[in-house]
Structure 1
């Protein structure tokens, strides 16, 4: 064995006589292909090494660590340490690619930017700005162009010499996992988990779309039009974008480990001596059942995802913090955090290195979870603490206790910022802090829901009149524009903090209490969980239902959604963490664009029975969105197609829920969407001349 743990990635050199493997132990092993013996081993960070690749000249190795750093090694060097450690200033490196001459290396960032470095000196060659988390990139054969794909299903082609955009291509139904340019740069292929699209780079038009559809009955075999090819099957497909050849393997893989991990998403295999040919592996054999982690502890009281979608922190009834790897279904760390009572709430920091927790022992503690050491204890509470939160900007923390007191501290120093001793007449059930740390929302056992200005220590607005029953939980969206409040009667209320009014109400979201909710990082969706053992996904703008996962693990007490929206985790009173994959559930049905064109191309009498069968299995099919935010309903409204509209409306069963005619617009933190702009003399301003979240809420608050 060459690694103390699982192998994350392997790569061959151009001569195929050496293979490099990246491991969960943070090491890269260099192995001779003929003998299988280890030639060398390179040390990395404490975090797992997620990917590895040889430079085209085979002289260097690049590895991406789970902590977001890009490490470069000399293959023939005697030193086992990296000769260069590269990283983005404000984000994590998610993937990397070498230039054809091995002199440059590009790293995609979680903030949408792509940084191109000199592979020799580590100096920055250029910075390419993007609008959403970049997922992959690829050089052309000369090294003058760079194609970058992102989570919104878009691809941007950049000129490296000028750092200008050549063309932007929008069309993939899910995050782009691979991009490839043809040798003459005339064509570009973007691949995602739902389709592969071949583009004309000069005009920006689609040449052909290959739709990968799970189809056991053969209904979707005929393509909807001449520009689309239906890859309808129930097994595994290998797609070569260069020759546009498709190889089918109609026998699903039965190994449950492969179903749950390796084939859980679309994979690409890089081939060819230059590494510029990608084969796409797409499988319908993914396991859609939730992965369940049965802890040896009591009930799970809280859970929270890391920013890289990989880890989830859990608080348990017996006072422990559990760090769990959802991608590989294994426990990473267990910390005995709180004595003589439960750990009530946990939150991971922005850089994934720290965990904030609170418990019945009246302590709020910031942990270095890898070292299992308490970094800081925030003092001020003298009774059991029911909730805590940490600002996205990592500057402040907040907590609320059973006496109704709310306290806010500076995260790094532990200095008190504000104390609200009489925030509630009963216990504080939930607190949520805006991204900039200026605003706190709270829910109390006195049935009161309030939004507070932290710096002034005053209540901005009370939402009690907007609540129909007993409020239980609250959560701010990442951009702070909305606040979701769950209720004991099964309803969910969403408040627009910018406009200062109730945005919508979702009655009967769950049967019984709605115990928790959480927002996706792009603010397009939020999830809820209830005592009915169901996790539900909702469109953030319209409140329309998107998915419902019946996990059958007992009443759910907490829920979390990974920042990129790939996973949903719910903890139950039985001590079970249930993790559901949203992409796996979504790919069981045709993506909205393909389904619309397929329905539009068929006779209504032929299309209606098939659509009715799909709707019976997926009741929220009309609302399911692609990466662009488009649903089947969106396509029908945009095209004004009365025929498809009749098919949808005539097959809608009674009590099926609302149709989402408005989908949420993707939100990107790095773009800093400004809701209000004023000159300095016109009103109070925050740092940099822009209003803080508290000031924006106060401007529309009747209590101001």
Structure 2
């Protein structure tokens, strides 16, 4: 067996209410921070999207250098990493601790040599340094509170503008950068500041809903844009490539395009209503399309030449993917830690959020009905919810569980088995049928036909037969040496794979209630997910150790090892598509990036 990386479905940007999210562009790519990763997303060719996992803390901003060769990315504890974006190795050029707190923004100079990083440090709010050595290139001073944004004029003489929570803009001359003047045009937080590509002007926007234009060389205030103003905080601004237009995104759920010469509104787009549709960031992509970010994480693409609605919306998880199920050959569904469920299409290389009322908190498990187009999910809201996979919509019906659910399984008769803190509850048709209290706290559940397996904290797996009304114990499997974390029956029902918190997977014969092999032990940490191929010959596993393995029943010592298949935080879910007949495996985890792998199986003798 062997594997080949296919492509990936990226996560969407991390957002926070009341805060500007920094996006940037480089040709067809949009660059942004998401959790501990940096996404370089190609909007035209999704297969060309790349992910950088070099940070160990949550990332906050990332920007590609004007040369296009390097990316500078920053995190919540003040680190900046400069790395190569050309090629797959993403070689680290340098790592620098520039602030003692969160970095909110950074900017490159026009020569791709110098970087200014700003944020909320204990001893200073900004730092200017060389990208290849980290040596200082001036002082970023003048603010009394955290700095939210920074921009550097790309032409000589260099200038830098910083904007902060103290409602001021500080204009710096350079290089080396030094304080020039304080600009007090805004009355509330200044959220963003950007120089035009020509360097002739720069723009600022803030929580006072105001927009100002300034001279790029002197910092002199040129005009306030007052035509058709936003009605909420303006969170971001970007210039067109020809320096003639500015686009702004606001918490009033609108995106506006302005003529920089006349200071008049050219176009206004409304992106829904409500908190989720507040606009928190934007960038001008490929010199044509405008990309604006919703608080929900959706990336809305606008073409100023056509229409009054987004031409496309990219929707994907912002937080960890917790579980995945496969329904059709081309489609699968993933639940996430933000309570949402997303539908993915391999053919379209795209994802979208399912409709209807879902979970408001973490989705802890999803199970597909073997006999219908329904799937069932459980979450931290202590409810079982019904999802129609054909229409990709949650149904209104929901049933409350007695405690927080950990795992869910479904059988052909539409019975649902939910492992909770102390109980296993059984539901059918949105009604509770019965409950079972195992001898030890349940940790996982799986079902096949009339056989139900319940994993427990005492390292044992209990087997039950399901009559349709009650569960009757028929045996105990005891070869695991740690609490059971996940269970999966083979499709033919003859075998059960039991993964535990120490990384070991024991394969059992269900009818004989004995171990087939205990050699599936390559993981070094908790096994989070198991998925079988339809022929019951191979099983894939994903673990907290970030690795994915594909195991063989016929040859237990032979395996495919996909090392570092996820970023920091590990793999939470693996799933074969179309039962593995085409060798397509998907995996995801804490970084919310869904990766697609092509597995080659040896020929059957």
| Category of TM-score, reference length = shorter chain | 0.3 to 0.5
TM-score under structure 1 length normalisation: 0.38
Task: Using CA pairs under 8 Å that are at least 6 residues apart, name the structure with larger relative contact order, 1 or 2.
Answer: 2
TM-score under structure 2 length normalisation: 0.44
The structure that is helix-richer by fraction is 1
